[in-house]
């Protein structure tokens, strides 16, 4: 279950400071008042209550919600559907020096599915308990980030700040199913080229406490299929060079490599993001045959 612990203005301030350094802005704005804080939480809850879970996210509602917020911040808006029914919402705060490359703050609007019967509170209720914890699917991954961007922009605007570089906010669909119809299409488009982006902030790992960790790397998946071949033979006999024996040689060397990488993490010598993680995800081998089941001493 996703629970966003003690969501309060500290999260907003972290992003604000981050943007401030990106925007060469050094005077932090004052902390939000009690009233402003409850408005921030209400807006966040409203976003969480929109059911954008795969496989049928309500992108119409989330788009409308984002556009309404953008309007209240006087941001330029653009909705692009590279694939019908899968809108990308792009907001722009134009910079004062258009010759400078821009900053892009990305978040995805969809969330993974949830089984409400297994939740203490409804996954789209955005319930707040007495400790200030907010319960909702997407509270961490990653509607909180999208809303932090918005709230940081709101505070910067209210302080009279004007960025030198243009600032873009993108709200993209379908990240949870690969992003092919969302960010992937944007990255390949002229729209993106014209945005002249210099740096992008995206999601990291959810945090179970108030420590906000920043990541500056991306892991790259590499799917590897190993197909082993070898000599056929009677299942009850010992012989060399069978397909299974050859396959095990590969599996064993991968297993050893995996253990060596994992040992570095366990020993605290390397972080999770500094090693190569490898996992065997699927194994299909052999030909089901009565021969394998026979007792050779009884049946020959
Ligand atoms: Zn995510």
Residue 148 and residue 129: Cα distance in Å, rounded? 21
Q: Are 165 and 198 in contact (CB under 8 A)?
A: yes
Residue 263 and residue 269: Cα distance in Å, rounded? 9
What's the CA-to-centroid distance between 138 and ligand 1, angstroms? Answer: 8
What's the CA-to-centroid distance between 112 and ligand 1, angstroms? Answer: 9
| The pLDDT of residue 107 is above 80 | yes
**Could you give the residue numbers annotated as active site?**
110, 175
149-159 pLDDT tens trace: 999 999 999 99
203 assigned binding-site residue: yes
The 10 Å Cβ neighbour count of residue 59 is: 22
| The pLDDT of residue 293 is above 80 | no
What's the CA-to-centroid distance between 198 and ligand 1, angstroms? Answer: 22
Set out the domains of the chain in order of their start, with CATH numbers: 3-201 (3.40.630.10), 219-300 (no CATH)
179-214 pLDDT tens trace: 999 999 999 999 999 999 999 999 887 777 878 778
Range 283-294 average pLDDT: 65
124-141 pLDDT tens trace: 999 999 999 999 999 999
| The pLDDT of residue 17 is above 90 | no
212-227 pLDDT tens trace: 778 887 788 898 999 9
76 assigned binding-site residue: no
Q: Are 110 and 174 in contact (CB under 8 A)?
A: yes
Half-sphere exposure at residue 240, Cβ-oriented, CA atoms within 13 angstroms? 0
**pLDDT at residue 11 in the model:** 45
């Amino acid at each position: 279950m996703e629970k966003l612990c003690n969501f309060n203005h500290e999260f907003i301030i972290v992003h604000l400071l981050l943007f401030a350094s990106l925007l060469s802005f050094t005077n932090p704005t004052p902390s939000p008042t009690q009233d402003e804080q409850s408005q921030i939480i209400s807006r966040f809850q409203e976003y969480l209550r929109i059911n954008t879970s795969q496989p049928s996210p309500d992108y119409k509602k989330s788009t409308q919600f984002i556009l309404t917020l953008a309007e209240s911040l006087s941001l330029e808006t653009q909705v692009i559907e590279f694939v019908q029914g899968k809108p990308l919402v792009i907001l722009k705060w134009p910079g004062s020096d258009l010759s400078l490359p821009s900053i892009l703050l990305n978040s995805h609007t969809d969330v993974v599915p949830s089984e409400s019967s297994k939740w203490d509170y409804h996954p789209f209720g955005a319930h707040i308990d007495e400790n200030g914890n907010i319960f909702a699917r997407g509270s961490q991954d990653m509607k909180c980030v999208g809303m932090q961007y918005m709230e940081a922009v709101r505070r910067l605007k209210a302080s009279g700040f004007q960025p030198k570089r243009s600032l873009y906010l993108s709200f993209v669909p379908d990240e949870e199913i690969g992003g092919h119809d969302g960010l992937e299409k944007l990255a390949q488009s002229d729209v993106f080229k014209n945005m002249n982006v210099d740096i992008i902030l995206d999601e990291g790992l959810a945090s179970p406490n108030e420590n906000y960790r920043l990541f500056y790397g991306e892991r790259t998946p590499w799917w590897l299929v190993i197909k082993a071949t070898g000599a056929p033979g009677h299942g009850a006999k010992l012989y060399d060079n069978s397909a299974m024996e050859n396959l095990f040689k590969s599996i064993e060397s991968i297993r050893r490599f995996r253990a060596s990488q994992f040992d570095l993490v366990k020993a605290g010598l390397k972080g999770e993001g500094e090693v190569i993680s490898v996992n065997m995800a699927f194994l299909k081998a052999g030909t089901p045959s009565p021969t394998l089941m026979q007792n050779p001493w009884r049946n020959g």
